[in-house]
Amino acid sequence: MSRWTAADIPNQSGRTAIVTGANTGLGFETAATLAARGARVVLAVRSLDKGKQAAARISQDNPGAEVELQELDLGSLASVRSAATQLRSAYERIDLLINNAGVMYPPKSTTADGFELQFGTNHLGHFALTGLLLERMLPVAGSRVVTVSSVGHRIRAAIHFDDLHWERGYSRVGAYGQSKLANLLFTYELQRRLAPHGTTISVAAHPGASNTELTRHLPRLVAAASALLEPWMQSAELGALPSLRAATDPDVTGGQYIGPDGVGELRGYPRPVASSAQSHDVELQQRLWAISEELTGVGYPMG
């Protein structure tokens, strides 16, 4: 089987892609590659200053690239709503929404709305953003929602409906696992709801073990151990390939999960991979969907 690389990405001219967390790491590489293939790319970032620097780098490497900025703080529903309003006004059609931004293993903290930071940012922020932008995607044949999960969806992962925000005790690893499992539950339930419309699909991806700024919150001892593993970790450029394949490969279908093909899915080239049995629990998907609508106040246009 041939290895899928960025060279396999079809021409993206005429397509509009929104990438969250696009100023650094996986999001930057994803946005830069899409821009190089002709897409108009919107960098949805919390810091406009860092976003401007990222946009300048992309434009410098790809003269004529269409790169635009949108301020977005996924840890604030007010910011998500404001950004969605501006994006709907600016773009009549959205072909790709890549829910890439995330936080990993921070000290216990909450979003502006009081949600546990990892669940609030990684899942609820993207749940709200997607729901608010779908009206610009549903009429677009071939449009895709790509949500980035992690091998962490298997590690101490469960949806703690009795304590979603870890108020009775906090585990960095457990909270991250919950948020990444939520990304997959969301992807699969979204695909089920989109399927009758036949235009937009929902796909998940994960980058394996990639060397990015996502690890900046690791506890000191874990960070030291992680540093020893860096030679075996893949670059952000390679780590972005699963998201890029999920977004652009004509053979990808709704509900697929794309990850590295190496041992343990930690590194390698992107291919369809399996997620945990728990992530395919339909009752769990629907229960999470219902509480996500309740917490964010966002309903979806297809019901």
pLDDT value, residue 231: 55
pLDDT at 225: 46
Q: Where would I find the beta strands (DSSP E) of 168-291?
A: 201-205, 257-260, 270-272
> In Å, what is the CA distance from 206 to each residue of 26, 92, 99, 130, 247?
10, 29, 11, 18, 12
Structural domains in the chain plus CATH codes = 16-296 (3.40.50.720)
C-alpha separations of 155 from 56, 164, 192, 282, 288 in Å: 38, 17, 25, 20, 19
User: Of the residues 91, 105, 170, 176, which is catalytic?
Assistant: 176
Asked about 176 being catalytic, the answer comes back as yes
Dihedral angle sign, alpha carbons of residues 103, 107, 112, 115: positive
Which pLDDT score, from 0 to 100, does residue 302 have? 83
What integer pLDDT is reported at residue 238 of this predicted model? 93
Query: How far is 32 from 26, CA to CA, in rounded Å?
Result: 10
Structure confidence at residue 263 (pLDDT): 84
- pLDDT 10s per residue in the chain (303 long)? 579 999 999 999 999 999 999 999 999 999 999 999 999 999 999 999 999 999 999 999 999 999 999 999 999 999 999 999 999 999 999 999 999 999 999 999 999 999 999 999 999 999 999 999 999 999 999 999 999 999 999 999 999 999 999 999 999 999 999 999 999 999 999 999 999 999 999 999 999 886 655 445 455 545 444 444 555 668 889 999 999 999 999 999 999 999 999 888 889 999 999 999 999 999 999 999 999 999 999 999 986
Q: Distance between alpha carbon 66 and the CA centroid of its chain, in Å?
A: 21
* Close Cβ partners of 283 (under 8 Å, ≥ 6 residues apart): none
Q: Looking at residue 52, what is its pLDDT?
A: 97
| Bridge partners, 79 (sequence order) | none
